[in-house]
Structure 1
Amino acid sequence: QNEIEAFIRDQEEEAKAKASSMAKEIIGLAIQRYAQEETLERTVSVVGLPNEEMKGRIIGREGRNIRAIEQATGVDILIDDTPETITLSCFDPIRREVARLALETLLKDGRIQPGRIEEVVTRVQNELNETIQKAGEDAVFKVGVGKVDREIVGLIGRLRYRYSYGQNALQHSMEVAHLTGMMAAELGLNQTLAKRVGLLHDIGKALDFEMEGSHIELGARICRKHGEHPAVVNGIESHHGDVPANSIYSILVQAADTLSAARPGARFESFQNYIQRLEQLEKIATSFDGVDKVYAIQAGREIRVMVVPDKIDDLASHRIAREIREKIENEMTYPGQIKVTVIRETRHSETAK
């Protein structure tokens, strides 16, 4: 009896040691086979000018042009003594890219005035949507996960402009997909499905700044809506341990996600805290009825709130500004002061024939 128990114990220990060794070998092989460049993002973009006189034209008479650009795009335009250069500052990379492309178009065209600015910004936003769709298609093709619904492809493309602790969300998702696929291949599993689970595990991050809910809830919801494989949905729901992993693919994604995030230099903490503070500011303001657009600017020291003029009159504008200020004071911790500016703009136009 004792000999049998001792034999079983020895076999268990040997099996555990072998399993641990094999797991380390599989992860080691996956890491060695995959190499991905990682570029840390910035919160500013620099636009070159043909000459110094252009700074005056961008500012416009009494600052009307620069105000129009800032209002249409939601970015800060910083004009200083740096020769032939202006700086665009915004925590949202999509807004910053729209502003950069719009400014470059306006500089080439030479017509810089409020009406033209709005027209160019709208056109650039439409063009950027096409670029985002193309980025999603390229990612799906490079990773090799088969046919993906068009809406999900667009969301994958949007991850190109999202960051988590300084790590690009699209690069991270592709990295997780490749690592998951390699580990699945070593284990003799379905490599295409494994890569699909890895690529889509953070898809909710393309929506979490626009819709209520965590990126896990939003990602699982959108994948269920489009009939994704149950392993994909469980991989999304379980990769942070919120629900139990019920497939081997979910466990592989957890491992790959940790490997990608833990690589030295892949992420840094303080930048993400700054981003979360700005996003919280904007969410507080958008929670009020009658608010159309909200932009946190000046590194979070000011929040501009555009209201719907038909719903909000001048008196209500004062009330909303006061209520937003009170909500910020009650719900947030921040250094210094935050200025709340509510903008109510009414436009009337007639066409002379």
Structure 2
Amino acid sequence: HYEKHKKIDAILEEQNRRLEKVAALSVDEAKKELLKNLENQAKLEAVQLAKEIKEEAREKAQREAKEIIAQAIENLAYEFTMESTLSTVELPSERYKGMIIGREGRNIRAFEEATGVKVIVDDTPELIVLSGYDPVAREIARLAMEYLIKGKSINVNTIQQMVNRATKEVNRAIQKAADETLRELKIHNVHSKMRQALGRLRYRYSYGQNMLQHSKEVAYLSGAMAAELGFNVNLARRAGLFHDIGKAVSNNSEGSHVTLGLELAEACREHEIVKNAILAHHEEAEPIHPISVLVTAADKISGSRPGARRDTLEAYTKRISKLEEIGNSFEGVSKTYAISAGREIRVIVEPEKISDEQAMVLSSDIASKIRETMEFPGQIKVCVIRQTITSKYTDEFEEKGKNHSRNHR
């Protein structure tokens, strides 16, 4: 493109010099022609400058752009709301609903304030629902509610007592889960904050797969492959175990689990390869060591093995259709294909309607619309493809040319 613009500039400059010497034109006509040429020249320069600025900004902000796409909403996909946000508690009888609500709703308000979890009391027989995005807070609420029901005394004072009791019980379970996992994998010298986050993964699920169990699987697989290839087995296990550590804190914080995991690892002074594995398994950084590649491979193996994760056909089809519908809604788009289970869409545009510069803008617009109108796990890559192909047979005495241009976001 640079060479093309350079040639056009040279032609325009030559025209301007000639026009100035052409006596046949009136002064006004010459001025108009000059202004028109200068305007065209300025537009070309502006387009080139805008493209250079955008490319520079994209290089500097690549990680930030990916973070925006993969914010905390990643683990709140609407197809899995039941699994990721709700817990149920069975009641001995219907009269307990009145006790839970309390006079003028005092008990239920006190419980929600103490736990941060919403209590849903409806017409479902002998059952209440606890709703909240934080799985640890939801587990504390579930235990506290069971203690209150068992004690048959529900008031503002006993609510706080049972919530405190449940909190201590869950914290002990978190500590125990972390200690057992680290002992099983023979991983030592782990910061207390990393231990706490690791234990919290016991209550975190993604597509039906428990995140602590997933992390252990990735650790074992990474270690096994590292042993075969002669790399540090202990470091490979460590990187595999902590690759998704950000998911332990992503419910209550802004940013993707990758960003949050990296921040935690840096605060705890984890090994550089561990930090790189956190970024590399979601392609937010290039691998600096083969161990990072092994962790990425192990992550995919654990997540894709039969029975590890679940997704209903209806939910999957709905998500794919919605993505393609969004892509096709933009002017100049010929066809949109959702691939990689909906984690990437490829948008084919009509080259006569969309220029290279417009394709760059289009990828941004589509990504923004997806982020605004859909709830999705992880991040979605938008790839806009502009392709022009012309061909003739030799007996038609015409040249055959082909030009490709692609734009990624």
- Residue identity matched to 1:132: I
State how far apart, in whole Å, the 1-side matches of 2:88 and 2:114 are: 18
- Which of these residues, 97, 117, 139, is aligned with residue 55 of structure 1? 97
- Residue identity matched to 2:218: V
Q: Does 1:112 align with 2:154?
A: yes
State how far apart, in whole Å, the 2-side matches of 1:107 and 1:267 are: 34
- Maintained 8 Å contact 1:203/1:215: yes
Task: Name the SS for the 1:145 alignment partner.
Answer: coil
- Maintained 8 Å contact 2:134/2:251: no
State how far apart, in whole Å, the 2-side matches of 1:213 and 1:43 are: 19
Task: Name the SS for the 2:277 alignment partner.
Answer: helix
- Which stretch shifts more, 101-110 or 64-73? 64-73
Give the structure-2-normalised TM-score: 0.53
State how far apart, in whole Å, the 2-side matches of 1:234 and 1:184 are: 16
Quote the offset at 1:51 in angstroms.
Answer: 3.3
Q: What per-residue deviation string (whole Å, max 9, x for no partner) do you get for residues 42-82 of structure 1?
A: 64333233333322212222332223223332333333455
- Which stretch shifts more, 162-171 or 173-182? 162-171
State how far apart, in whole Å, the 2-side matches of 1:225 and 1:54 are: 46
The answer for the alignment partner of 2:139 in structure 1 is 97
State how far apart, in whole Å, the 1-side matches of 2:181 and 2:286 are: 28
Tell me the percent identity: 50
Q: Where in structure 2 are the equivalents of 1:91-170 lying within 5 Å? A: 91-170=133-212
Question: Relative to 1, partners in 2 of residues 1:91 and 1:228: Cα closer, same or farther, differing over 3 Å?
Answer: closer
State how far apart, in whole Å, the 2-side matches of 1:241 and 1:222 are: 19
Q: Does 1:254 align with 2:296?
A: yes
Q: Does 1:227 align with 2:249?
A: no
Quote the offset at 1:139 in angstroms.
Answer: 1.5
State how far apart, in whole Å, the 2-side matches of 1:334 and 1:249 are: 34
Q: Does 1:179 align with 2:221?
A: yes
- Maintained 8 Å contact 2:89/2:127: yes
- Maintained 8 Å contact 2:133/2:251: no
- Which stretch shifts more, 106-115 or 72-81? 72-81
The answer for the alignment partner of 2:236 in structure 1 is 194
Q: Does 1:74 align with 2:116?
A: yes
Structure 1, unaligned stretches of length 5 or more?
A: 1-39, 275-330, 336-353
- Maintained 8 Å contact 1:184/1:194: yes
Task: Name the SS for the 1:88 alignment partner.
Answer: strand
Structure of greater Rg: 2
- Maintained 8 Å contact 2:277/2:295: yes
RMSD after superposition: 2.8
State how far apart, in whole Å, the 2-side matches of 1:149 and 1:232 are: 14
- Maintained 8 Å contact 1:201/1:232: yes
Quote the offset at 1:121 in angstroms.
Answer: 1.8
- Which of these residues, 272, 282, 285, is aligned with residue 243 of structure 1? 285
- Which of these residues, 213, 226, 238, is aligned with residue 255 of structure 2? 213
- Which stretch shifts more, 190-199 or 257-266? 257-266
Question: Relative to 1, partners in 2 of residues 1:203 and 1:55: Cα closer, same or farther, differing over 3 Å?
Answer: same
Quote the offset at 1:181 in angstroms.
Answer: 1.0
The answer for the alignment partner of 1:299 in structure 2 is none
State how far apart, in whole Å, the 1-side matches of 2:190 and 2:251 are: 23
Task: Name the SS for the 1:227 alignment partner.
Answer: coil
Q: What per-residue deviation string (whole Å, max 9, x for no partner) do you get for residues 140-180 of structure 1?
A: 12222233222211110111222333322211111110111
State how far apart, in whole Å, the 1-side matches of 2:146 and 2:215 are: 31
Q: What per-residue deviation string (whole Å, max 9, x for no partner) do you get for residues 112-148 of structure 1?
A: 1123313322342233223212211111122222332
Question: Relative to 1, partners in 2 of residues 1:106 and 1:164: Cα closer, same or farther, differing over 3 Å?
Answer: same
- Maintained 8 Å contact 1:165/1:267: yes
- Which stretch shifts more, 50-59 or 148-157? 50-59
Number of equivalenced pairs: 239
Q: Does 1:264 align with 2:295?
A: no
Quote the offset at 1:252 in angstroms.
Answer: 0.3
Task: Name the SS for the 2:113 alignment partner.
Answer: helix
Task: Name the SS for the 1:117 alignment partner.
Answer: helix
- Maintained 8 Å contact 1:41/1:168: no
- Maintained 8 Å contact 1:220/1:236: yes
The answer for the alignment partner of 1:277 in structure 2 is none
The answer for the alignment partner of 1:344 in structure 2 is none
- Maintained 8 Å contact 2:84/2:205: no
State how far apart, in whole Å, the 2-side matches of 1:44 and 1:220 are: 28
Task: Name the SS for the 2:88 alignment partner.
Answer: strand
Quote the offset at 1:187 in angstroms.
Answer: 1.6
State how far apart, in whole Å, the 1-side matches of 2:296 and 2:196 are: 24
Q: What per-residue deviation string (whole Å, max 9, x for no partner) do you get for residues 24-50 of structure 1?
A: xxxxxxxxxxxxxxxx95643332333
State how far apart, in whole Å, the 1-side matches of 2:178 and 2:121 are: 34
State how far apart, in whole Å, the 1-side matches of 2:98 and 2:263 are: 49
Segments of 4+ in structure 1 off by > 6 A?
A: none
